[in-house]
Structure 1
Amino acid sequence: MDHLACFSPDDLRSKPALLEGQRWRLLAQGDSWFSVAAAQAHGSLLQELMFKQPAVAVNCAGSGDALSHMVDLESAPEFVRLLTAADAPVWDGILLSVGGNDVIAAAQTPAHLEDGSAVPLEKRLLRRQTEWGPPSAGVARYFSEPGWATFAEYLKTNLRHLLTLREQGPSAGKPIFLHCYAVPLPRPAAASDGRGPWLYPTLKAYAVPAADWLAVSRLMVMHLAQLLKSLAADKENFPGLHVFDSTAVPLALAAPGSTGISGDWHNEIHLNHSGSFKIGRAWSDAIDAVFNKPVKPPPAPGRRGAASAA
């Protein structure tokens, strides 16, 4: 097993031969789970991928604002160029880390704007206390299904656009690999660059009881996982999309109220190296299975008229 070798687009420009001799050549783009920027001290999922044959990835994941809304490809011109340009390499697959930061950003949408006007339910993921459903609904009482419908359509639209871009370039028809996310415990643990925490202040602002924070976090992560898996199952509209269910990988939760590295987590929403190792190894096996899937031979021609006779 070999670690995935990761390079930047700048590396590729200066050393185009770095793709030579590799069995699998991958293009990567994503949110902070893929970032290897110096400011991101947490583990990178890409660096924990391992394959049975030599593999290399050109990673376009950046840092800062570009990570907040990854599926908005306007913020990723380098990735789009390497996917669509006529002289771009032919990639064996595309690795994506999408939706996680987008869900966090959607959850952070406040109930009211600065001028005091209310934000409609269809534009946020959480409900104000006066909008909560009955206790019998469980933690779903805090969740805005109209807001989720808006978010789901946003994500689907951008992934359809991504597939269209794939078909425009030299890598048409190549597989696109996505992962789901793990369930973070909302807690006051910011990133080393001062960003965050993310869910902790949001759930406090919406007055969600602390005893329900983890369950609300799980609800949002599971909604995203189910959405991504449903798109991968829709082979007609999302051909070549492969989704790995990271929620099935057992991870150690962070301790409630902890402010730093705890369990398999570096901060509130990012994995540390042990967490990335666990998910990365499992995802690697799933990707390898797609790459090494036996090709079915074409059916043998039957006798003329055999089908009608049957």
Structure 2
Amino acid sequence: MPMDHLACFTPADLTGRTPPDLGAFRWRLLAQGDSWFSNSRDKLNAHANLLQELVFRSPVAAINCAGTGNALSHMVDLESSPEFVRLLSGPGAPLWDGVLLSVGGNDLIAAARTPAHHGSGEPIPLQLRLLRHQTEWGPPSAGVARYFSEPGWVTYSDYLRANVKHLLSLRDQGPSAGKPVFMHCYAVPMPRPAGAENGTDLGAGPWLYPALKAYGVPAADWAAVSRLMVFHLALLLKGMAADKENFPSLFVFDSTAVPLALATPGSTGISGDWHNEIHLNHSGCFKIARAWSEAIELVLEGKHLIQPTTGRKGRGSSSSNS
């Protein structure tokens, strides 16, 4: 069956001289997110946009509020995104069939980049950072978890849960109350000296590479530490999706289940399915988006899976929490 790419528009398109006919599409979605969603020309020139690679069996349109401005650097920035909030729950907001979100990854990176000490030399408490200083490492028997701040993870988890609950409350204040919200997990980056050509919301990068060096984490453990953090985030997001009482109609796609070509350690540019240290290139976006598309479409058609499905190849490698 022929597949249609997601038709992406901006809020400005809705008020332009020739606004899109959203009635021509079977489903209409509202999108917001970080640099994985951004329509900013410098970001599109630098690396891929995950939305560009979503495909469906029926025509689907999205109004993407990541737009041409700065993509979200923190979850709390959702509230300072007036176009998104207006289109989601403001006066005269349209009825959306669902909401697409790419959030939480930049917060994870920012937490991992928090240093062990202030510039004055005063220690930053463990509950405010994700990595441990060498003097705080656990025993070698703990593996790479000895570098990880569990108190910091509790703080991050509470923060992310509160912000996602707030976003769902915004949805339920408007005409799209109860409609599905689709979030994705993140792929596991290889910490390496590969920054962004045109800069990002968190600076030009690299991002994890200098943080792990500053904390003295052995290079042989960098990939495993990155995996530990991304898998913690995936479990957190999937746990929220499974908690239907507190997070109703939230659906999380497990991007970690999609096989990707890892970047080569030490590489400084495009490598594997990665454009730089934390952003996918077009092949990486293609692999994740094609699998996520199927999970989204199952929900929109009312056929979403009760149990996550993993271990299959290609589009079938998706997993959805219902």
Q: TM-score range by the shorter chain?
A: over 0.9
Q: How does 1:95-174 map to 2 (within 5 A)?
A: 95-174=100-179
What is the match of residue 64 of structure 2? 59
**In 1: Cα distance, 2:15 partner to 2:110 partner:** 33
Aligned partners of 1:243 and 1:277: how far apart in 2? 18
Q: 1:28 aligns with which of 9, 31, 42?
A: 31
Q: CA RMSD in A?
A: 1.4
Cα deviation for residue 36 of structure 1 reads 2.1
Equivalent pairs, count: 295
Q: Which residue of 1 aligns with 2:240?
A: 231
Alpha carbons of 1:65 and 1:11: their partners in 2 closer, same or farther (altered >3 Å)?
A: closer
- 8 Å contact kept, 1:127–1:206: yes
Instruction: Identify which of 76, 80, 93 aligns with 1:75.
Output: 80
Deviation at 1:76, TM superposition (A): 1.4
| 5+ residue gaps, structure 2 | 305-322
Distance 1:71 1:182, change over 3 A: farther
Cα distance, 1:73 vs structure 2: 1.7
> Is residue 88 of structure 1 aligned with residue 93 of structure 2?
yes
Indicate if the aligned counterparts of 1:66 and 1:76 stay in contact, CA closer than 8 A.
no
The partner residue of 1:12 within 7, 11, 14 is 14
Alpha-carbon distance, 1:64 to partner: 7.0
Is 1:182 equivalent to 2:187 in the alignment?
Answer: yes
Structure 1 stretch displaced more, 229-238 or 85-94: 85-94
- C-alpha deviation, 1:70, in angstroms: 3.4
- Counterpart code for 2:105: G
Instruction: Give the 3 Å change call, closer, same or farther, for CA 63–259 of structure 1 in structure 2.
Output: farther
Partner secondary structure for residue 6 of structure 1: strand
- Paired residue for 1:201, among 187, 190, 210? 210
CA distance 1:32–1:173, change in 2 (3 Å): same
1:274-295 deviations in whole A, cap 9, x for unaligned? 0000000000000011111259
**Mapped partners of 2:38, 2:6: distance in 1:** 14
Displacement of 1:67 in angstroms is: 2.5
1:285 aligns with 2:285: no
Alpha-carbon deviations, 1:37-72, whole Å to 9, x = none? 111120110000001100010001146754211343
3-state SS in 1 of match to 2:58: coil
Alignment check: 8 A CA contact 1:177 1:241 kept = yes
Aligned twin of 1:259: 268
Deviations for 1:83-131, whole angstroms, at most 9, x for unmatched residues? 0113111100000001111100111111111111110000000000000
Query: Is the CA contact (8 Å cut-off) linking 2:10 and 2:67 kept in structure 1?
Result: no
When residues 273 and 198 of structure 1 are mapped into structure 2, their CA distance, relative to the original with a 3 A threshold, is: same
Mapped partners of 1:70, 1:154: distance in 2: 9
Structure 1 position 217 matched with structure 2 position 226:
yes
| Residue of structure 2 in register with 1:306 after alignment | none
**Partner Cα separation in structure 2 for residue 25 and residue 53 of structure 1:** 11
Correspondence for 1:303? none
Runs of 4 or more above 2 Å deviation:
15-18, 62-67
Which residue of the other structure, out of 5, 28, 32, is the alignment partner of 1:3?
5
Q: Distance in 2 between matches of 1:162 and 1:265?
A: 30
1:246 aligned residue (255, 270, 274): 255
The whole-number CA distance in structure 1 between the counterparts of 2:70 and 2:213 is: 24
Give the aligned partner of residue 285 of structure 2.
276
Using the alignment, how far apart are the partners of 1:294 and 1:47 within structure 2?
A: 24
The whole-number CA distance in structure 2 between the counterparts of 1:247 and 1:75 is: 30
Contact between 2:171 and 2:177, CA under 8 Å: does it hold in 1? Answer: yes
Larger radius of gyration: 1
Where does residue 301 of structure 1 map in the other structure? none
In structure 2, relative to structure 1, the CA distance for the partners of 1:65 and 1:22 (3 Å cut) is: closer
Change (3 A) 1:110 1:39: same
| C-alpha distance in 2 between matches for 1:247 and 1:186 | 16
Describe the shift of the 1:221–1:48 C-alpha distance in structure 2 as closer, same or farther (beyond 3 A). Answer: same
Q: In structure 2, how many angstroms separate the alpha carbons of the residues matched to 1:112 and 1:18?
A: 54
